[in-house]
């Protein structure tokens, strides 16, 4: 028999939250994601995500089924539009770099699939196999990127919308190895979406800078040449070191990030070694 939160006895908080940097990120310990977590634990994890923008877990020995079950507690799962999922688990995308490859999937600063009308709320990335050294991921806080802009720049950006495309040369280059074997859409597929340059988070109400180096090519109503000087300034500004944190992976590590106020960049510094990650993406909403 199920019980509502009101009628159920309070659940003791069995995990701890330790910030990993001044800007964003927290490591969650004392929790086993293979367990059926109670409603209170899920609510507390959701709040930790809102507070810290990306949360990390260590030593999680979970099956694909449990990975999916955990993700569903936070929202609807959506499939990545360009690459096939795992055999038998189409909602789990393998993020792989093999020993002979020199390009890593998504290996540049970006927010996930900004070229969709409804970009994802977040992703839950699980490390299955990692190199002996290297392969860390950087995350950046787009609330801070917005908050630290001048009043004049905020006023300039307020009415602007960014045009985001899936086929920028730099983004296409990071997908080329996976598209050779696991493409879901034709190679010439182009996805495009226009979103506010400054978006308001639907849960926290905070403003975040919402352009990214991988996909934003111009401002709506302007050409690329006209847009480039401001975009290039914003791309440099939003990844200032004091806005970032860095996560070092081990098998069983998980990063769960809120895609709306963050960007991330997997570092490509492990040539000659294999790295295998499994990613689940959660549905979002149209940025406003």
Q: Identify the structural domains of the chain with CATH numbers, from first to last.
A: 16-282 (3.60.130.10)
31 CB neighbour count, 10 Å cutoff: 17
Given the DSSP bridges, would you call strands 26-29 and 54-57 parallel, antiparallel or unpaired? Answer: parallel
How far is it, in rounded angstroms, from Cα 255 to Cα 277? Answer: 11
- The pLDDT, as a whole number, for residue 5 is 47
Residue the block writes with tokens 């034709």: 186
The first and second tokens of residue 166, run together, are 């899936």
Alpha carbon dihedral 274, 92, 254, 235, in 10-degree steps, equals 80
The pTM score is 0.92
How far is it, in rounded angstroms, from Cα 72 to Cα 68? Answer: 6
For the question of residue 195 being annotated catalytic, the response is no
Q: Give the helix/strand (H/E) hosting 3.
A: none
How far is it, in rounded angstroms, from Cα 32 to Cα 276? Answer: 21
The residue from 52, 67, 110, 195 that is catalytic is 110
Burial of residue 155, with CB atoms counted within 10 A of its CB: 0-12 exposed, 13-18 middle, 19 or more buried: exposed
- The pLDDT, as a whole number, for residue 185 is 72
Secondary structure (3-state) at 259: coil
The residue from 52, 112, 258, 275 that is catalytic is 112
Nearest Cα to Cα of residue 108 among 212, 240, 248, 178: 212
For the question of residue 35 being annotated catalytic, the response is no
Q: Give the helix/strand (H/E) hosting 222.
A: none
- The pLDDT, as a whole number, for residue 84 is 87
Q: Give the helix/strand (H/E) hosting 172.
A: helix 169-182
- pLDDT per residue as tens, the chain (288 positions): 444 445 554 455 679 999 999 999 999 999 999 999 999 999 999 999 999 999 999 999 999 999 999 999 999 999 988 788 999 999 999 999 999 999 998 889 999 999 999 999 999 999 999 999 999 999 999 999 999 999 999 999 999 999 999 989 888 887 777 767 777 777 678 999 999 999 999 999 999 999 999 999 999 999 999 999 999 999 999 999 999 999 999 999 999 999 999 999 999 999 999 999 999 999 999 999
- The pLDDT, as a whole number, for residue 255 is 98
Secondary structure (3-state) at 18: strand
């Amino acid at each position: 028999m199920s019980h509502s939160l009101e009628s159920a006895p309070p659940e003791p908080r069995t995990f701890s939250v330790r910030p990993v940097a001044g800007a964003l990120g927290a490591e969650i310990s004392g929790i086993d994601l293979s367990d059926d977590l109670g409603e209170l634990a899920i609510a507390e994890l959701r709040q930790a995500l809102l507070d810290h923008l990306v949360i990390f877990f260590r030593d999680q020995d979970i099956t694909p089924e449990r990975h999916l079950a955990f993700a569903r507690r936070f929202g609807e799962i959506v499939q990545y539009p360009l690459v096939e999922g795992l055999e038998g688990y189409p909602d789990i995308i393998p993020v792989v770099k093999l020993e002979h490859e020199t390009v890593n999937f998504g290996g540049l600063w970006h927010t996930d699939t900004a070229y969709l009308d409804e970009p994802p709320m977040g992703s839950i990335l699980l490390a299955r196999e990692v190199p002996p050294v290297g392969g860390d991921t950087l995350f950046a806080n787009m609330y801070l990127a917005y908050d630290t802009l001048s009043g004049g720049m905020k006023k300039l950006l307020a009415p602007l919308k960014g045009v985001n495309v899936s086929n920028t040369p730099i983004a296409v280059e990071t997908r080329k190895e996976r598209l050779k074997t696991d493409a879901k859409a034709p190679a010439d597929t182009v996805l495009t979406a226009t979103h506010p340059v400054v978006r308001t988070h639907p849960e926290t109400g905070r403003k975040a800078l919402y352009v990214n180096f991988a996909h934003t090519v111009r401002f709506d109503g302007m050409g690329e040449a006209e847009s480039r000087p401001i975009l290039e300034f914003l791309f440099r500004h939003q990844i200032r070191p004091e806005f970032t944190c860095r996560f070092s992976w081990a098998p069983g590590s998980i990063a769960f990030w809120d895609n709306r106020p963050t960007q991330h960049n997997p570092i490509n510094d492990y040539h000659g070694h294999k790295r295998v990650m499994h990613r689940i993406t959660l549905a979002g909403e149209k940025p406003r």
